[in-house]
Amino acid sequence: LTESFNLTSHMTLYLARDAVIKATQDTRNWPLIAPLPSYGRGRERPGGRYMSFIHGDGVHDVVISGENGTIDGQGDIWWNMWRQRTLQFTRPNLIEFVHSTSIIISNVIFRNSPFWNIHPVYCSNVVVRYVTILAPADSPNTDGIDPDSSSNVCIEDSYISTGDDLVAVKSGWDEYGIFYGRPSSDI
């Protein structure tokens, strides 16, 4: 059980078989960060957003892999806040890479993300393969993989069953994404 954490360049996060990393459900322990420029404001609420559970900003040569160990976002507390309309900021993603290159995510199980599961944004050269992504069918906005304003992204040989989109290619949000002007390509 842990709070949000950052990855660094040239790092491998390896999950052995039966290993489980669980996100804290104490929402006071999730750092707040600024909205993405291509989103202009929080996606769900005006203002900031909670940092993703596993975060990488400006990193390169990062691997998240293993023997099908699990990263569990324990998202039910966040889904309930969304349903009850008590969120103060946008929910955290499970994994987010920002302005990063050469990312490999493979052989890991992701479950119960508070919001989107895997969100590479403003990234290039990303490979996601042999992953399993799970969330209940009624879990709100638990997209599987959302490449966003990114290029050269390969998604293959994966199983996704969530409460929203399985794979959703994005280029920001509404007029903010248009103004930011970085379309996704070569997905």
Q: Which residue numbers are catalytic?
A: 164
Residue 169 has φ and ψ, to the nearest 5°, of -80, 125
CB 118 within 8 A of CB 94: yes
CB 100 within 8 A of CB 60: yes
Q: Give the number of other Cβ atoms within 10 Å of residue 148's Cβ.
A: 25
Q: What's the CA gap between 134 and 31, in Å, rounded?
A: 25
Q: Cα separation of 151 and 173, whole Å?
A: 17
**Amino acid letter for position 35:** P
Q: Are 33 and 39 in contact (CB under 8 A)?
A: no
